[in-house]
């Protein structure tokens, strides 16, 4: 039973506001958003920062929903559907973090896309956004291919990511998006 | 023609398209699970309206938030409005919401319709 206390201490140390682990759907997305929003409201956070955090949360959550539905159909194992979402707050910033399994053969392309995003400045990201929105079609899963670009634009910071090895076919994709609490 | 009236929810916007009373408005939050499905009736309504449009149309967007999948569909809506004569977009944003203001400016650069920016 000690892990309860350990988990609690780890969350306090990392200043985690909210964590969700499990199956991700539009319904869970709405519940998570409403809990996180209530927390932001009660903390009296500045409204423009609240909006940015909300924005990043939606894209991060919907990314997992779309990705895990794809994974679930493919593998059917519990492992392949389970993901994690957390949000933390310290004096300087909010961090929206996600983790979900992805197939190893997708890692190289995803790394390239994220590195490409991180190499761009504000103007470069804006051009990229306009280019994609003009040419994209909504995928079967409902995505527009704009989620990461939007997270980078709204946060104004580089997207941090690592891939942790899981098994022969999967890595665990960890993403961290920071949103500064200091007003520009 | 029929009025399109969709009541907003926590993840879909309020939509009122009423030719007779000259009210054309999308407002609230837009982050539906399936944005293409959600906006389909809106696009169909606009297509029908295009064949019998009023002399002037002020189309209002007063969005608090939209996700990226909705932004693609908003561009589709704007593209459908582009072909209608006398069209003007009223783009509302909260007075401290620079991101929403910038989003409107970007849309205005992607379509050939006059935009008027307003704060609320």
User: Residues with Cβ < 8 Å from B102, sequence gap 6 or more?
Assistant: none
What's the CATH number where B66 sits?
Answer: 3.30.750
For chains A and B, what is the number of CB pairs under 8 angstroms? 64
- B93: helix, coil or strand? strand
What is the domain partition of chain A in residue ranges? 2-180
* Beta partners for residue B118, in sequence order: B92
pLDDT tens digits for A97-133? 999 999 999 999 999 999 999 999 999 999 999 999 9
Q: Cβ distance B25 to B15 under 8 Å?
A: yes
What the block records as the tokens of A133 is 């929105």
Report chain A residues whose CB lies below 8 A from the CB of B10. Answer: 30, 34
Interface residue of B37, B67, B97 to substitute, partner A, most A CBs within 10 Å? B67
Domain containing residue B92:
4-119
Query: What gap in Å lies between CA B80 and CA B114, rounded to an integer?
Result: 14
- B113: helix, coil or strand? coil
Residues of chain B falling short of pLDDT 70: none
pTM, 2 dp: 0.92
ipTM value: 0.91
Task: Please list the pLDDT of chain A residue by residue as tens digits (184 residues).
Answer: 889 999 999 999 999 999 999 989 999 999 999 999 999 999 999 999 999 999 999 999 999 998 876 665 555 555 546 899 999 999 999 999 999 999 999 999 999 999 999 999 999 999 999 999 998 887 777 777 899 999 999 999 999 999 999 989 899 999 999 999 987 6
A133 closest CB neighbour out of B34, B36, B71: B71
User: Are B65 and A52 in contact (CB < 8 Å)?
Assistant: no
Residue in chain B nearest A27 by alpha carbon: B33
CA-based nearest residue to A121, from A129, A112, A131, A133: A129
User: Could you tell me where the DSSP H helices lie in chain A?
Assistant: 2-13, 26-42, 47-75, 78-81, 107-118, 122-135, 147-155
CATH topology for A2-180? Heat Shock Protein 90 (3.30.565)
Rounded to a whole number of angstroms, the distance from the CA of A17 to the nearest CA of chain B is 22
């Amino acid at each position: 039973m000690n892990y309860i206390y350990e988990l609690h201490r780890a969350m306090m140390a990392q200043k985690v506001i909210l964590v969700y682990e499990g199956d991700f759907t539009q319904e869970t997305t709405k519940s998570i958003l409403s809990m996180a929003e209530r927390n932001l409201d009660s903390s009296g956070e500045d409204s423009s920062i609240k909006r940015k955090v909300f924005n990043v949360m939606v894209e991060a959550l919907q990314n997992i929903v779309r990705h895990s539905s794809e994974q679930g159909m493919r593998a059917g194992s519990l492992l392949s559907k389970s993901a994690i979402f957390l949000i933390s707050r310290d004096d300087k910033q909010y961090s929206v973090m996600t983790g979900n399994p992805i197939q190893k053969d997708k890692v190289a392309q995803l790394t390239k896309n994220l590195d490409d995003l991180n190499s761009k400045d504000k103007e470069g990201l804006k051009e990229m956004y306009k280019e994609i929105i003009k040419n994209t079609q909504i995928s079967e899963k409902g995505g527009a291919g704009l989620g990461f670009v939007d997270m980078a634009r709204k946060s104004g910071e580089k997207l941090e990511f690592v891939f942790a090895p899981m098994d022969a076919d999967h890595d665990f994709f960890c993403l961290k998006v920071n949103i500064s609490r200091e007003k520009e | 023609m029929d009025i399109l009236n969709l009541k907003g929810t926590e993840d879909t916007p309020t939509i009122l398209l009423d030719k007779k009373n000259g009210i054309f408005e999308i407002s609230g939050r837009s982050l539906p699970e399936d944005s293409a499905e959600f906006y389909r009736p809106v696009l169909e309504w606009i297509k029908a309206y295009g064949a019998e449009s009023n002399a002037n149309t002020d189309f209002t967007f007063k969005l608090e938030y939209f996700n990226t999948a909705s932004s693609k569909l908003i561009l589709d809506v704007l593209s459908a409005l582009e072909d209608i004569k006398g069209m003007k977009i009223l783009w509302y944003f909260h007075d401290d919401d620079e991101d929403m203001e910038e989003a409107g400016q970007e849309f205005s650069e992607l379509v050939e319709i006059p935009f008027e920016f307003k704060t609320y």
